[in-house]
Structure 1
């Protein structure tokens, strides 16, 4: 597996997390008082989570595993093949569901939930990012 094949996707995540950290430092009132903060957070979450799904899909294709029908199935397939831990599954699927909410229900995002995710759940993105890199490095060509 060649890390270079997904390097552009990998590069998006640390860049997004760096910018999300700036937003994370704001109080709820400060964060919600400027639509640019909200728009930026939503965009950064959406593109980070989508990049993770894309990288997971690349790993699945490279290893010749069954084709996922949904983004959530990417996680399920990686868990089925012990590439991700079972106890991580629900957190990662919830993360993907949040991305779907941003994409499909963009006009109905609860700002309190967005802020809570901003404050408490970046660890899931970081953790999945590191795990996917590790999988790629452990499965050379």
Structure 2
């Protein structure tokens, strides 16, 4: 959970930056990309861990983790089917097609989707409290 919280905090510092400010330093892109990737990996790890405790449930892809978390009522369906599913797909892009992710795109995620990540973080804390 600490990794998730630290990643969100780091991403949050870019929320107030305009695109021009964000683009002004290549380090901004590198830091934000790393933090988002770390966040998404941790979220998928937590989801996979929680799902592993349900007999017969074995997600094959990251998007399955998001979908199954919603199907089993572990996170609200609207969170699982919307932002979490989208971010599971984005995690795959970050890993396999990272050279195609633009500064503008990453800035847009920080500006438009950070609140969804924070919402899932709250659900993840509750999940961990219930499973530990």
Q: After TM superposition, is the score higher than 0.5?
A: yes
Offset of residue 24 of structure 1: 2.1
Say whether residues 1:136 and 2:128 are aligned partners: yes
**CA RMSD between the two structures:** 1.5
Q: Contact 1:49–1:125 at 8 Å: present in 2 too?
A: no
- Deviation string, structure 1 residues 62-107 (Cα, Å, up to 9, x no partner): 2335111011111111111111222221221111111211111111
1:12/1:48 contact within 8 Å kept: yes
Q: Which runs of 5+ in 2 are unaligned?
A: none
Q: Pick from 28, 31, 43: which aligns with 2:22? A: 31
Find out whether 1:113 has 2:98 as its counterpart: no
Q: Give the aligned partner of residue 48 of structure 1.
A: 39
The answer to whether the aligner puts 1:92 opposite 2:84 as a matched pair is: yes
Distance (whole Å) between structure 1 residues aligned to residue 54 and residue 125 of structure 2: 15
Name 2:12's counterpart in structure 1.
Answer: 21
Q: Does 1:58 align with 2:38?
A: no
> In the alignment, what sits opposite 1:4?
none
Report which structure shows greater RCO (CA 8 Å, sep ≥6): 1
- Match for residue 104 of structure 1? 96
Are the aligned partners of 1:16 and 1:48 in contact in 2 as well (CA < 8 Å)? yes
What is the alpha-carbon distance in structure 1 between the residues aligned to residue 127 and residue 4 of structure 2?
16
| Mapped contact 2:50–2:131 kept (Cα < 8 A) | no
**Number of residue pairs the alignment of both structures matches:** 131
Give the ranges of 4+ consecutive aligned residues of structure 1 lying more than 3 Å apart after TM superposition. Answer: none
Segments of 5+ residues of structure 1 without an aligned counterpart are: 1-9
Distance in 2 separating the partners of 1:100 and 1:81:
23
